[in-house]
Amino acid sequence: MITVAYLQTSPLLGKNSKTLDLTNIMLKGILHADLIVLPELANSGYNFISKEQAVASAEDPSGSSFVEMLMKHARRLNANLVSGFNELAGDGLYNSALLVNKEGVAGCYRKTHLFMHERDFFLPGNEAPLVYDLGFVKLGMQICFDYMFPEFWQHMAMQGAQLIAHPSNLVTHYAWKVVPALALMNRIYVVTANRIGAENNLSFRGRSFLAHPDGAVKFKAPAKEAVASVFSIDPSIAMDKRVTLLNHVFNDRRTDLYDQLL
Ligand code: ACM
């Protein structure tokens, strides 16, 4: 068994330093975890009013005090953290998820499927998502609206991901229907860490959750409270891709019939 947590926060748009302090206080409340997942754009907030505001709150991970704060908790807990991050890379901004351990940034995924006005601020990631072997679990990362693309999930599950960390800023109600079904269809765990609060007429839905490989939703957070939730899971369950003794979610596919759709 391993211990996993999500942090459901409320970043303050454009106020990185105050957001860092609030996130730090919440992380201090976690006393044991192997893996902690934070929301999308957890360092900066989401619904920027201008490109200038997005740029002003973007950070290069190598000089970021937010990343240093995450590293401090990685050392304290001997944990890995996945956090949404407004990433400055050269002249471009990416809506990224960073994998942070006690030594620093061990992985980065840049959001591929940009949602609504994100295109005004961010470049899309152009690389296939990697699966990271953390020793205790094989980890994939997706960010919020990426959930709408089933091929993406299958790509990661077929590369061995047992758990997808899913930093989110969900504003519609669809993910609670779709993500548990994708967890079941790929026989994987998903930790959706969503945020709460509102920014410039956009309300975020909270209700962070763990989806189990059997499709059950567990440890659902409230809609409007900043909370941390810590739970135990058995990653080995995600290695069994059978849905009955005689049916396997990958081996039973008939790609000879529908490969052209992929
Ligand atoms: C979203 O992708 N932030 C909905």
pLDDT tens track for 214-258: 999 998 999 999 999 999 999 999 999 999 999 999 999 999 998
Number of Cβ within a 10 Å radius of residue 250: 12
Share of the chain above pLDDT 90, in %: 95
Cα-to-centroid distance, 116 and ligand 1 (Å): 8
H or E element at residue 82: strand 80-89
Q: For residue 110, which phi and psi values (nearest 5 degrees)?
A: -105, 125
Asked whether 169 lines ligand 1 (CB < 6 A), one says: yes
Asked whether 115 lines ligand 1 (CB < 6 A), one says: yes
CATH architecture of the domain 2-261 equals 4-Layer Sandwich (3.60)
Cα-to-centroid distance, 248 and ligand 1 (Å): 31
pLDDT range class, residue 163, cuts 50, 70, 90:
very high
Q: What digits encode the pLDDT tens for the residues 66-119?
A: 999 999 999 999 999 999 999 999 989 999 999 999 999 999 999 999 999 999
Asked whether 97 lines ligand 1 (CB < 6 A), one says: no
Residues in Cβ contact with 195 at an 8 Å cutoff, skipping those fewer than 6 apart? 8, 9, 10, 11, 39, 40, 42, 46, 168, 169, 204, 206
Q: What digits encode the pLDDT tens for the residues 109-145?
A: 999 999 999 999 999 999 999 999 999 999 999 999 9
Kindly list the domain boundaries of the chain, sorted by start residue. Answer: 2-261
Average pLDDT taken over every residue of the chain: 96
- Give me the active site residues, please: 40, 111, 144
Cα-to-centroid distance, 54 and ligand 1 (Å): 16
Asked whether 170 lines ligand 1 (CB < 6 A), one says: yes
Among 33, 47, 38, 45, smallest CA distance to 2 is for 33
Q: Could you tell which of 170, 194, 202, 203 is best to mutate to test the pocket of ligand 1, judged by most ligand atoms within 8 Å of the CB?
A: 170
Asked whether 132 lines ligand 1 (CB < 6 A), one says: no
The pLDDT value given to residue 262 = 61
Asked whether 85 lines ligand 1 (CB < 6 A), one says: no
Mapped onto helix, strand or coil, the DSSP state of residue 99 is strand
The pLDDT value given to residue 108 = 98
Share of the chain above pLDDT 70, in %: 99
Cα-to-centroid distance, 133 and ligand 1 (Å): 26
Q: Could you tell which of 171, 172, 207 is best to mutate to test the pocket of ligand 1, judged by most ligand atoms within 8 Å of the CB?
A: 171
Please check whether residue 174 is in contact with residue 191, taking contact to mean a CB–CB distance below 8 angstroms.
no
Please check whether residue 114 is in contact with residue 95, taking contact to mean a CB–CB distance below 8 angstroms.
yes
pLDDT range class, residue 261, cuts 50, 70, 90:
low
Asked whether 144 lines ligand 1 (CB < 6 A), one says: yes
* Atom 2 (ligand 1) nearest CA: 145
* Residue 41 pLDDT > 90: yes
